[in-house]
């Protein structure tokens, strides 16, 4: 049988960030696949920590990340010999494309939905994949339901192990008002009292934090 030596992972990140990822038992490839909103839903991960994570754990660095995971996965009989071994990835900067998209985007501010959609439309021009994604961090698990979204019914529910709702809302090229209405209706259906935070993004773009005061 094989076993991951968690202490050998994430030593290239700040201590509190590394501990949070290890406690969540997230493997590096899972970290890369998660959206910014999903990472911030992990206990101990703050918005400013996402940048330090993305600097190293990104799609441009996938092969190096796989190599480190492979080295941290050992046969159980080898655990005693590998417990003290520290594996470190050489830090790399984010891709130029991501950096260009993030330039001038204030990640601390919240945005009205219409403004967020307009921002994403600009960012998505430099991306081939333009699916709009809505990530909602809820205050509890087990939240589920559906709304009358444009073009049909849109079901939603939290993930099985995390209080996160992750929805694909279709291409950014769709009618802007339909997209705005879908986001509004989803947030209202869930209810402001059950939502901690919400983020709108396109595939491979930075996320935009939504202002929930108008829900």
Examine the pLDDT at 40 and tell me if it is beyond 70. Answer: yes
Q: HSE-up of 196 (CA within 13 Å, CB side)?
A: 16
SS3 129: coil
Q: What are phi and psi of 60, to 5 degrees?
A: -70, -20
Mean pLDDT across the chain:
80
> Measured in Å, how far apart are the chain's first and last C-alpha atoms?
50
- Residue spans of alpha helices (H) in 124-198: 176-190
CB within 8 A of 16, min separation 6: which ones? Answer: 44, 49
Burial of 138 (0-12, 13-18, 19+ CB in 10 A): buried
- The residue that leads in pLDDT, 48 or 137, is 137
Query: Which whole number is the average pLDDT over 16-31?
Result: 90
Report the run of H or E that residue 168 belongs to, with start and end: strand 164-171
Sequence-distant (6+) residues with CB within 8 A of 215 are: 184, 187, 188, 191, 192, 195
pLDDT tens string 69-89? 887 776 544 545 545 444 444
As to burial, measured by CB atoms within 10 angstroms (0-12 exposed, 13-18 middle, 19+ buried), residue 28 is: buried
In this structure, CATH architecture of domain 96-209: 2-Layer Sandwich (3.30)
pTM for this entry: 0.56
Residue 137: predicted pLDDT: 93
Of residues 65 and 89, which shows the higher confidence score?
65
Span 129-153, average pLDDT: 83
Which range, of 41-45, 73-77, 204-208, averages the lowest pLDDT?
A: 73-77
List the chain domain ranges: 2-82, 96-209
């Amino acid at each position: 049988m094989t076993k991951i030596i968690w202490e050998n992972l994430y030593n290239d990140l700040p201590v509190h960030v590394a501990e949070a990822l290890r406690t969540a038992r997230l493997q590096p490839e899972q970290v890369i696949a998660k959206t910014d909103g999903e990472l911030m839903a992990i206990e101990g991960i703050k918005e400013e920590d996402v940048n330090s994570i993305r600097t190293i754990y990104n799609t441009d660095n996938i092969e190096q990340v796989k190599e480190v995971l492979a080295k941290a996965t050992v046969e159980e009989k080898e655990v005693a010999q590998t417990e003290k071994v520290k594996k470190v990835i050489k830090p790399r900067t984010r891709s130029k494309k991501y950096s260009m998209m993030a330039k001038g985007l204030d990640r601390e501010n919240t945005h009205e939905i219409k403004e967020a959609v307009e921002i994403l439309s600009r960012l998505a021009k430099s991306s081939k994949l333009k699916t709009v994604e809505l990530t909602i961090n809820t205050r509890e698990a087990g939240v589920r339901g559906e709304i009358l979204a444009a073009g049909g019914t849109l079901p939603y529910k939290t993930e099985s192990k995390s209080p996160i709702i992750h929805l694909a809302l279709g291409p950014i090229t769709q009618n802007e008002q339909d997209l705005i209405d879908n986001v509004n209706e989803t947030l209202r259906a869930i209810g402001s009292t059950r939502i901690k935070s919400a983020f709108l993004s396109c595939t491979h773009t930075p996320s935009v934090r939504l202002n929930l005061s108008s829900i």
